[in-house]
Amino acid sequence: MGLPAPPLANPRRRARRARSTIVCWVATLLVLNVCFGVFVHYRPGFRDPLFDAKVKALGARFAASGEPIKVVVLGSSRTAAAVEPKSLEAAVAAETGRPCVAFNMGVQGNGPVSQLVHYRRIRDAGIKPDVVVVELLPSAFAWFLDPKRHENRPYDATILRPDRLSRDELDTVCAYGFPLPETREDWWETTFNPWFGFRFQLLARLEPKWLPPGIVQHRRDIGETGGWGPWDAVSPEVKRQRVAEVKSAYGSQLHVIDLKGPHVPAIDELLNECKQDGVRVVVVVPPEGSEFRSWYPPGVQDALAAFQERLRRDHGVPVIDARTWLPDEAFVDSHHVVRTWAKPYTERLAREAIVPAVR
Amino acid sequence: MLFTTHQYLIFFVVVFTVYWAMPWQRLRVYLLLAASFYFYATWNQWLALLVTGTATLDYFLARGIDSVQRRGLRRFFAGTSIAVNLGVLGFFKYTNFFLSSLYEAFNIAEADRYLLKVIIPFGISFYTFEAISYTVDVYQKRIKAERNLPNFLLFILFFPHLVAGPIVRARDFLRQAHRPKRWSWIRAQHGVQLIVIGLFKKLAIADFMAIYSDRVWLPDQNIAVLSTQAAWMAVIAFTIRVYCDFSGYSDIALGCAHLLGYKLTVNFRMPYISLNIAEFWRRWHISLSNWLRDYIFIPLGGSRGGFWFTARNLIITFGLGGLWHGATWCWLVWGLVHATMLIVHRAFREFAEARPSLKAALETKVGITVRWLVTLFFVTLSMAFAQPSLTAALTVLKKMFVWQVGPDIVGLPVDQNRLWWTVYLVVAAHVVVLLGLWKWVWRRLPGPVLGAACAILFVTAQVLSPDTANAFMYFQF
């Protein structure tokens, strides 16, 4: 069936052809890898697409706004969903009588180390906010089991993959408890084999829908105005299913929150650097549903309260525990705020945390 | 060490470079032996020692078979070798299966506590079958016992085929181990092509399909809420995955072996284009189906008796073949389902051969298409039994045929278009090969273009590879 195969050439010609095939295979691979590696080197934003898109939008928004109060909100997907910049701007402007520009820099999976890395990038991009809202996510201080390597690692290390980091940032994260030598090995693997290492960044540009599930930090979709990434309400059945999924993901982790771990000093460093840069800081524990809060063991609740107190004392910053601010119906899955509840939460956050900081 | 990891790439490049840089032929065998031992020991050094130990025992027992004339003694040596191999396989792979079945039958609570805490050595089923076939061949005087221990150990431990086949035969491999190796560009090109194609099958297709199929196939998944559409999608995804995963592994194994101057048995010849189930087994996991044929089916009498005698032999052969895949009732049923399909095919073939008009109709284009579709349909259905439990398998089958509305693939935020594009790609690749276009094109392409195309395919495989570094599915067997 089908076309007859063409006759084989004589062995000497075949050998010559085979040699040129292999030589060109190796040469093409080298050229492709070197070219792509050089491209990424000169386009560092390519490494962390969502953050890059957000920081560009942030820069443009701040540059176009004259001299208002500039607020940057750092954090995870919880912050990305809960803080609506427009409401924050309106509330701060109404309370202070000064214009305000806010941007939600929340990126899924950000913990203390990621926030430090992102704050430094914002600073290095020449952006100086007046106020930075730092998220204090209790679960981000837990140890997470890496299913591939069967070992515990800080929460940030499960999400902030080495391909999203520059060489300098690699040193930073390794100093804050990212597992060694895997983190460095992964970074070098990515550097030497960029087509594999940056495949999600590339797919996110070419065909974002083809990204595997869970790879959301590589999409360049910054959400709505000001970086807000709202979550729509779901049916009670879907909500129950999502709460069950969240419980299986976080329930046991809340028992292994370690407020003395190697990743904890990252938040101190972030607060110190903000202070040195003359940026006022508000630390916020984001809202949680009653079910999520019920998963904390009593000892951890006390330790968290003591930790917040220490931050207040050591850094002189306001620490707002907003975990009980919203009712259960305000959540999609007991920890991500529904779109319609973002406004009241943001307005309260502006009134009780940000306005006192800028006055 | 997976074939798809950077660690393997470094390992292979080092072995390859030293191997061909070495001017002494004998040392090359030692190098490959050391590399193979290291390859297995990176996973578990004790089990690497176990494999080496049993292989060494097989070597001496085969020498014993060869050196004595008394039938009883020969039988004793052969029996000991087979018993040791089956004993090790049984202990590691089947003890817990029998214990758990026993506990279940007697309703013993917390049965898990009484199971053995053993890990199944990677590829134990593969090298056990290789060792048994060697012993049987020596016993039946089909081959002479190998006199060189390193050569024999390399036959069992050669890293490209060690953990997931193909199941090589001693007469094919040992000849090659003795032969001095000379570098061949043609062979190297063939090896590179096989590796690139294998990687594409594994990374871009199989691992991606796993995202869909794992939602149904992993033990902790809630398949009760599965919709009919989702069940079909998952089974189709699994059917493609299992083929691309295993044939991808085999391609890489063959490619690596070629680069080291060895030729391993071809394991797959596009099984999904088969027109009947017998042909499917001549195209699917060829080294296993040949082994089952030569060492179980034919010794049982093969098809030399009547219809029911052959049917009995098929049931025994495929029942054991099913259990070879996995120590679960589900795999046994899978084997029996295939045996049943083969029996039905045999009956239908006899029925059709007695009716020339029906036979002629089956040879028309429509007839061929129908035969292909029916074969593919039943092969796909049989994949439902590759489940952790019979209940799960039956649930999936029920979902496929009893209409149910529900989430597409439970909570899977991934574009289903990519699944369908991958299906089209697999179909298109089959058509291209079937029509002879593949050979027609690649034999005409200039070397540099072919090399560049291989590099682009290699890079594309990496770009399309998902987040997970899945082990090859057949490692578990």
Rounded Cα–Cα distance for residues B72 and B30 (Å): 35
Sequence-ordered alpha helix ranges (H) in chain A: 11-42, 49-63, 77-82, 85-96, 112-124, 155-159, 167-175, 182-192, 194-197, 199-206, 236-250, 265-276, 290-294, 298-315, 339-349, 355-358
A181: preceding bond cis by omega (within 30 degrees): yes
If phi > 0 it is left, if psi is from -120 to 50 it is alpha, else beta; for residue B282 that is alpha
Residue B158: which pLDDT band, with cuts at 50, 70 and 90? very high
Q: Please determine, for residue B109, whether its predicted confidence score (pLDDT) is greater than 80.
A: no
CA dihedral A59, A62, A64, A68 (to 10 degrees): -170
Q: Please determine, for residue B409, whether its predicted confidence score (pLDDT) is greater than 60.
A: no
Rounded Cα–Cα distance for residues B329 and A350 (Å): 62
Of B413, B459, B469, the CB nearest to A32: B459
Q: How does pLDDT run across A52-71, given as a tens digit for each residue?
A: 989 999 988 888 777 888 99
pLDDT at position A285 is: 94
Q: Please determine, for residue A39, whether its predicted confidence score (pLDDT) is greater than 80.
A: yes
pLDDT at position B31 is: 95
Residue B473: which pLDDT band, with cuts at 50, 70 and 90? low
Rounded Cα–Cα distance for residues B173 and A249 (Å): 49
Q: Is A307 in contact with A265 (CB distance < 8 Å)?
A: no
Q: What is the DSSP letter of A331?
A: B
Q: Please determine, for residue B415, whether its predicted confidence score (pLDDT) is greater than 80.
A: no
Q: Please determine, for residue B140, whether its predicted confidence score (pLDDT) is greater than 70.
A: yes
Of A18, A202, A245, the CB nearest to B463: A202
Residue B215: which pLDDT band, with cuts at 50, 70 and 90? confident
Q: What is the DSSP letter of B294?
A: I
Q: Is B13 in contact with A192 (CB distance < 8 Å)?
A: no
pLDDT at position B112 is: 72
Q: Is A24's CB within 8 Å of B458's CB? A: no
Which residues of A sit within 8 Å Cβ distance of B? 1-6, 8, 11, 14-29, 32, 148, 189, 193, 195-196, 199-200, 202-203, 209-215, 241, 245
**In Å, how far is A182's CA from the nearest CA of chain B?**
12
Q: Please determine, for residue A159, whether its predicted confidence score (pLDDT) is greater than 80.
A: yes
pLDDT at position B271 is: 93
Report the mean per-residue pLDDT for chain B: 88
Chosen for mutation from B7, B184, B195, B454 (greatest number of chain A CBs closer than 10 Å) is B454
Residue that wins the pLDDT comparison between B214 and A330:
A330
Q: How does pLDDT run across B231-266, given as a tens digit for each residue?
A: 888 888 899 999 999 999 999 999 999 999 999 999
For the segment A84-91, the average pLDDT, to the nearest whole number, is 93
pLDDT at position B410 is: 47
Of A28, A195, A215, the CB nearest to B452: A28
Q: How does pLDDT run across A163-203, given as a tens digit for each residue?
A: 999 988 999 999 988 888 888 998 998 999 999 999 999 98
Q: Is B185's CB within 8 Å of A15's CB? A: yes
Most confident residue range from A31-35, A58-62, A225-229: A31-35
B1: buried, middle or exposed (CB in 10 Å: 19+, 13-18, 0-12)? middle
| Residue B342 neighbours by CB distance under 10 Å | 21
A225: buried, middle or exposed (CB in 10 Å: 19+, 13-18, 0-12)? middle
pLDDT at position B328 is: 82
Report the mean per-residue pLDDT for chain A: 88
Bridge-based pairing of strands A143-146 and A151-154 is antiparallel
Residue that wins the pLDDT comparison between B306 and A216:
B306
Chosen for mutation from A8, A21, A185 (greatest number of chain B CBs closer than 10 Å) is A21
Q: How does pLDDT run across B346-377, given as a tens digit for each residue?
A: 999 999 989 999 989 999 999 999 999 999 99
Tokens of B181: 């190796």
In this prediction, does ipTM exceed 0.85? no
Q: Please determine, for residue A307, whether its predicted confidence score (pLDDT) is greater than 80.
A: yes
